[in-house]
Each structure stands twice: as C-alpha cells, then as structure tokens.
Amino acid sequence: MMHNRPARWLLADAIRFSVITLDTGRDATRKNVKAEAFEYSYVYESEAHAAPNRLDHGYVLAFGDTCVFVQHTSTHVITSDDVKPV
C-alpha cells in the first residue's frame, strides 16, 4: 500500500547548539555592529533511508520582537563526523 505523504526526516545528530557573537558589519555611523545569535547544525536522515542525509546549518537573530532565521541545507551525503572538526 502506497502512502501519499511527504518524506519524513529524523534528527540524527545535533552538532552545534550554542549562542555566539556575530560581527554583522558596519552601521550608518561606520561602527562595527555585533549581535548575539543562536547557531545550530543538525544532521537529518530520511525516515525511509531513501535519500542522502542532510545537513542544516543556521543562525537565529532576535531584534526586539522580530526573529530572523538564516539557514543553509546541504543535500550532499554527510555524517556528523564529517562536520564536527569544521
């Protein structure tokens, strides 16, 4: 029996999960602006093991009532051991 549901992904490993300080560049007064951000890197694997693992790496920044998520997802075959030294 075929199921018409999207592929499900499971969290295989959390590699990074911490608060860091990012240098965001210069503001209008030419001062370097730093911002605290939450950095994360996760390895996901397909529940059916039908696709290569995926690596999600991103940052979350909060500006008052607004949160900004910046994320990159790689579809290259990857394991957490490939990423930990980076």
**Domain spans of the chain, in order of start:** 9-83
CA torsion through residues 69, 74, 79, 81, sign: negative
Strand, helix or coil for residue 8: coil
- pLDDT of 5 reads 54
More confident: 83 or 74: 74
Q: Residue 12's pLDDT is what?
A: 85
* Encoded tokens for 61: 């920044």
CA distance 17 to 7: 25
Check whether 68 has a pLDDT greater than 80: yes
Mean pLDDT confidence for 75-85: 61
pLDDT of residue 20: 86
* pLDDT per position as a tens digit, 11-60: 888 888 889 888 777 767 777 778 888 988 888 888 887 777 888 888 89
